[in-house]
Amino acid sequence: MIFPRAIRRLESLKTPFLACLLIAAFADGAVAGDKGSQSFVRVSATDPRYFEMSDGRAYVPIGLNMIAPPGQQAWPVMKDWMEKLSAQGGNFIRVWLGNPYFDVEHSRCGEYDTAKAQRIDELLATAATLGIKVKMCMEHFRHLGEGRQAWAAKPLHLVQNGGTATNIADFFNGEKSRAQFKKKLAWYQNRFGNHSQVFGWELWNEINAVSGGDYMAWTEAMLPELHRLFPSNLCMQSLGSFDTDRVRANYRRLAFMKGNDVAQVHRYLDLGASLEVCKGPVDVLAADAVREMLAAKPGKPVLLAESGAVEPRHSGPFKLYAKDTNGVILHDVLFAPFFAGAAGPGHIWHWDAYVAKNNLWWHFGRFAEAIRDMVPASEHFEPAFLQTESFRIYGLKGKRMVVLWIRDIQSDWRAELEQGRPAELISGKGIELANWWDKAQPVKARIYDPWQNKWSDAAADDGMVKLPPFRRSLVVRLLPQ
């Protein structure tokens, strides 16, 4: 690991070229934990499709949505979740500052609770000791009291309750409400500004789920203010699940919006969705969501920022989660986005009802191990895909290496969870090198089995890489000999 003080000394060398060489020689691969570091996450200067730390090290956000503790007195539970994630190489979580546990503005519009702010202090301090960066989602409400979902209401913003808005449309369109929200941003900046443990500031959770107002124009007005107040942090916005063609235009508009640093996408396995891709294998729906964003060529990192599985039309957590004790859905959410070209693994929802309940934290460690020592921005990876009779192969072709995630077609969620058919042992298979290795150098293959946590070498004979026996998936690295 190269430390910031060492980097500053190297940068002070009289020969800048030598300093750059030394920094490159000592720089880590994908950062797991970042304990004690004061570095910020930023978009990579080498390849803007990926992230890096402000000291130049690679950063791949390995983690999940972990919105808040399960109750007002349950901070020890959330701390335990964070510790388990960190122990597996996790370095990222997303929280909702509008959740009742953290919500500083809960009694009256424009009044901020310092006791709740201390809970955010505790969150960030814990994250610092564990090497976890935190995405701070600032709001999530969808109406001002007239809607059906009680958790999504925030009536304190109504004029009759001391607020600034006559209705939700006025909240987004009205000058008084916009000015008040900017004051709230300024309060957050004064209290938590320039904090290196913050991955980034997210204006809203799924803002297109609100019941009125020009939320896209509001976003265009607020992103510059976020950047002004938090110049060292990433700034972003989110939209609801990409499960219908109707949301494509807004997704593309947001991907290119000035000040939106990350092209985020949400998508779930949802048998009630209008898009058929949302009803099939999880690796397919996750990779497709990433490709939708990459196809727009926004010139910024793409993340599958929410995923998982739900009952039809988001009516609750997926009932088959209870059977997924092996974490098949989580595995696909993690691996498919990154190997489809995203800046990191997918970030699953249902951290409590699925990940914690089934004790699936080890999956984050397997992903971290699969990308160990990789520096995606330096490789300038280009995603590629090939489907064979047996596999879906997601590939990243880089300057030095090619990395493949090989997914067995037969062992999807329907087979294992719905039909109760265990994943079969696959043996005697291989991959054709000509599909992946077009470099002049001879090639060697390193293979990682994420289900066994085992690395092995593989022979490359007669234009084929022979795969060891495995279930569900393998990661193959092709490297020059």
Average pLDDT over residues 459-475: 93
Cα separation, 120 vs 102, whole angstroms: 6
pLDDT of residue 10: 36
Split at pLDDT 50, 70, 90, the class of 349 is: very high
pLDDT of residue 439: 81
Average pLDDT over residues 159-185: 98
Contact between 19 and 11 under an 8 Å Cβ cutoff? The reply is: yes
Higher pLDDT, 3 or 438: 438
Lowest-pLDDT range, 186-190, 202-206, 442-446, 447-451?
442-446
CATH class of the domain at 41-377: alpha beta
- Residues 6+ away with beta carbon under 8 Å from 109: 156, 157, 161, 162, 163, 164, 180
Other C-beta atoms lying within 10 Å of the C-beta of residue 323: 15
Split at pLDDT 50, 70, 90, the class of 15 is: very low
Other C-beta atoms lying within 10 Å of the C-beta of residue 319: 11
pLDDT of residue 3: 34
pLDDT of residue 28: 57
Lowest-pLDDT range, 18-27, 31-40, 168-177, 186-195?
18-27
Predicted model pTM: 0.93
Split at pLDDT 50, 70, 90, the class of 459 is: confident
Residue 369 pLDDT exceeds 50: yes
Other C-beta atoms lying within 10 Å of the C-beta of residue 255: 23
Q: What is the DSSP track for 10-73? A: HHTSS-HHHHHHHHHHH--SSB---TT--PPEEE-SS-TTSEEETTS-EE---EEE--S-SSTT
- Tens digits of per-residue pLDDT, 99-144? 999 999 999 999 999 999 999 999 999 999 999 999 999 999 999 9
Residue 2 pLDDT exceeds 90: no
* Whole-Å CA distances, 380 to 46, 287, 303, 383, 397: 8, 19, 17, 10, 8
Average pLDDT over residues 320-327: 98
For 183, the token pair is 């004051």
Residue 1 pLDDT exceeds 70: no
Average pLDDT over residues 181-209: 97
CATH class of the domain at 383-480: mainly beta
In whole angstroms, how large is the CA radius of gyration of the chain? 23
pLDDT of residue 434: 94
Percent of the chain past pLDDT 70, that is, above it, reads: 94
- Nearest Cα neighbor of 144 from 174, 165, 115, 120 is 165
- Tens digits of per-residue pLDDT, 56-89? 999 999 999 999 999 999 999 999 999 999 999 9
pLDDT, mean over the chain: 93
Residue 14 pLDDT exceeds 90: no
pLDDT of residue 211: 86
pLDDT of residue 32: 63
Percent of the chain past pLDDT 90, that is, above it, reads: 89
Q: Where are the domains of the chain?
A: 41-377, 383-480
